[in-house]
Amino acid sequence: MRPLIYIMTPVLILTILLASRFVTWDAIRGADRQAQIYIQEGSAALRSWKLPQAINAFTRAIEIEPKYAEAYVKRGLAYYRSAQYETAIADYTETLKLKRYQADAYASRGDAYQSLGDMQRAIEDYSASLKQRFSPHVIQKRAETYFKQGSVQKALADYDDLIKRKPTAMAYYGRGNVYLQHAIQGNENFLKPALADLDQAIALEPHFVTAYISRVQVHTQLGDRTLANRDYKRAIPLLTDAIQKQLMRTLTKNIDVF
């Protein structure tokens, strides 16, 4: 009997984990079936950036189930993508009142506050999210916000922590740019750390166009025009390709709307 328990327990746990990816808590607790259908429709519209349709579907779900946390947090994202930041904040706040999706709601509300230029509230929300759940993306966001706020040492501390935990190209790029701006403001001692971080970012992601552009600035500050020109020549085709891809994505979205 005991060997059977040892075998079945991991299977049961795996089944629950897999199911949790497809079945929301609200569905498990018995949310109205029609409200669940609206959530599915809204989620599909959100994935394809059909934002008015997504907002409408989530609103219908909320009309049926006023305490449907998933509807609020997803409608908040739809409003955020529509640049309706204050309305997004209201939905994220409602999600938090319902005590669901707290890490996501805090992080997303932080994004909305940052878009409104309220850096302090953004930092507070990112910090609250990190208390709920560790996320490299949220640490990166908080580091960027600290830097925009002018809190350079706090930004560097976040990047140091992030690189220790998850050394990504974006993390090295972010810290490299903090060092670069420090150097541009008059402290040339930060040029070599900036160069080392940008080298690492490009090594991890060879097509990282903005990292090349930042490295051009470092080489220029160091007086090495040869290396600056080399990076500039590498950046131009990458930037052109990125612009073309963005234009194609924009055109595709517009076609989907019509």
Same structural domain, 197 and 118: no
Residue 146 belongs to some domain of the structure:
no
The gap between the terminal CA atoms of the chain, to the nearest Å, is: 62
Same structural domain, 41 and 128: yes
Domain boundary among the residues 115, 133, 151 is at 133
Cβ atoms within 10 Å, residue 17: 9
Residue 188's pLDDT is: 86
Q: Which whole number is the average pLDDT over 129-158?
A: 94
Residue 7 belongs to some domain of the structure:
no
Q: How many domains does the chain have?
A: 2
Rounded to the nearest integer, the mean pLDDT of the chain is: 85
Same structural domain, 47 and 115: yes
Domain boundary among the residues 108, 133, 158 is at 133
Same structural domain, 111 and 172: no
- The span from the CA of 181 to the CA of 214, in Å, is 10
- Whether the CB-CB separation of 211 and 198 falls below 8 Å is answered with yes
Please identify which residue in the block is written with the tokens 């060879």. 206
User: Checking phi first, is residue 83 left (phi over 0); if not, alpha (psi -120 to 50) or beta?
Assistant: left
CATH number at residue 177: 1.25.40.10
| Residue-wise pLDDT tens digits, 97-111 | 999 999 999 999 999
Residue 252 has pLDDT above 60, yes or no: no
Same structural domain, 54 and 115: yes
Residue 25 belongs to some domain of the structure:
no
Same structural domain, 55 and 126: yes
Same structural domain, 109 and 201: no
Residue 151 belongs to some domain of the structure:
no
For residue 133, what pLDDT band results from cuts at 50, 70 and 90? very high
For residue 250, what pLDDT band results from cuts at 50, 70 and 90? low
Q: Which whole number is the average pLDDT over 115-123?
A: 97
Residue 45 belongs to some domain of the structure:
yes
Residue 14's pLDDT is: 34
Residue 202's pLDDT is: 96
Same structural domain, 185 and 253: yes
- Whether the CB-CB separation of 172 and 160 falls below 8 Å is answered with no
**Percentage, residues of the chain above pLDDT 90:** 73
Residue 201 belongs to some domain of the structure:
yes
CA atoms within 13 A on the CB side of 116: 18
Residue 149 has pLDDT above 60, yes or no: yes
Residue 244 has pLDDT above 80, yes or no: no
Same structural domain, 105 and 41: yes
Q: Give the dihedral sign, CA 204/163/213/195.
A: negative
Same structural domain, 198 and 121: no
Same structural domain, 237 and 181: yes
| Residue-wise pLDDT tens digits, 58-67 | 999 999 999 9
Domain boundary among the residues 118, 133, 148 is at 133
| Residue-wise pLDDT tens digits, 152-201 | 999 999 999 999 998 999 999 999 999 999 898 888 899 999 999 999 99
Same structural domain, 41 and 105: yes
Q: Which whole number is the average pLDDT over 69-83?
A: 96
Residue 11 belongs to some domain of the structure:
no
Residue 207 belongs to some domain of the structure:
yes
- Whether the CB-CB separation of 149 and 119 falls below 8 Å is answered with yes
| Residue-wise pLDDT tens digits, 1-53 | 333 333 333 333 333 333 333 334 444 355 678 989 999 999 999 999 999 99
Q: How far is CA 58 from the centre of its chain?
A: 22
Containing structural domain, residue 69: 33-133
